[in-house]
Amino acid sequence: MHKEEIIKASKNIFNEFSDTCLQIPDDKFFFQPIEKWSIAQNVDHLTKAVNTTRLAYSLPKVFVRMLFGKANRPSKTYDELVAKYKLKLAQGGKASGRYLPKTKFTKKLTLIQKWQKANETYLEAIELKWNDEQLDIYIAPHPLLGKLTLRELCHFTIYHTEHHLSIIKARLTEQIN
């Protein structure tokens, strides 16, 4: 995906995710099944992930290069990156450390607004500071996937949101049945 396609796909999935969450009644939004995250916790996790990811795009390029280096290979396609992520999940990969969600929340709207603000600042940093070529040159670390080009990190962010949206939709179906 080119930068414009990444931004469009990101906005689409971010909006679909937000719209879905806003329609969920509070009792279902905060309900936590045994050994699973609540929908609220999924939102919190994604917010933490996007806020951390945004840092790679917000720092001056010279710092990104000094901290993480430059790519020594071409960027993976969206599908290749998704396949790698699914493989890591199948091998037992899961969120840890700072990416684990909180357990207590007070207001659904506040949580969703934080998610939306994180997305806005993430996309703004990409739009204003990076061009297509640079997305393939610079890299940043991912806790599960290792070093990714910034383009791959964009791909991951799109899929990661889709992944959690699928979890939420499945959870809602489970609660109905």
Within a domain: residue 45?
A: yes
CATH of the domain at 61: 1.20.120
Is pLDDT above 80 for 175? no
Report the candidate in 114, 97, 118 with the shortest Cα–Cα distance to residue 106: 114
Q: Does residue 99 lie within any of the structural domains?
A: no
pLDDT of residue 172: 85
CB atoms inside a 10 Å sphere around CB 141: 13
Alpha-helical regions (H) of 31-106: 39-58, 61-68, 78-90
Query: For residue 129, which amino acid is it?
Result: K
pLDDT at 177: 52
Helix, strand, coil share of the chain (percent; to 5)? 70, 5, 25
pLDDT for the residue numbered 176: 59
pTM: 0.94
pLDDT reported for residue 173: 84
| Axis crossing angle, helix 150-176 with helix 3-22, rounded to the nearest 10 | 20
Question: Which stretches of the chain are assigned E, i.e. beta strand?
Answer: 139-142, 146-149
In a domain, 86, yes or no: yes
Domain count for the chain: 1
Q: Which residue has the tokens 């790679």?
A: 56
Alpha helices in 59-149 (DSSP H): 61-68, 78-90, 108-129, 132-137
Assess if residue 114 is contained within a domain.
yes
Is residue 31 included in any domain, yes or no?
Answer: no
Each residue's pLDDT tens digit, 61-71: 999 999 999 99
Give the tens place of pLDDT for each residue, 86-144.
999 999 999 999 999 988 887 999 999 999 999 999 999 999 999 999 999 999 999 99
Task: Residue 124: give the domain boundaries.
Answer: 3-23+37-93+109-176
CB atoms within 10 A of CB 138: 24
Torsion angle of alpha carbons 146, 117, 15, 21, nearest 10°?
A: 90
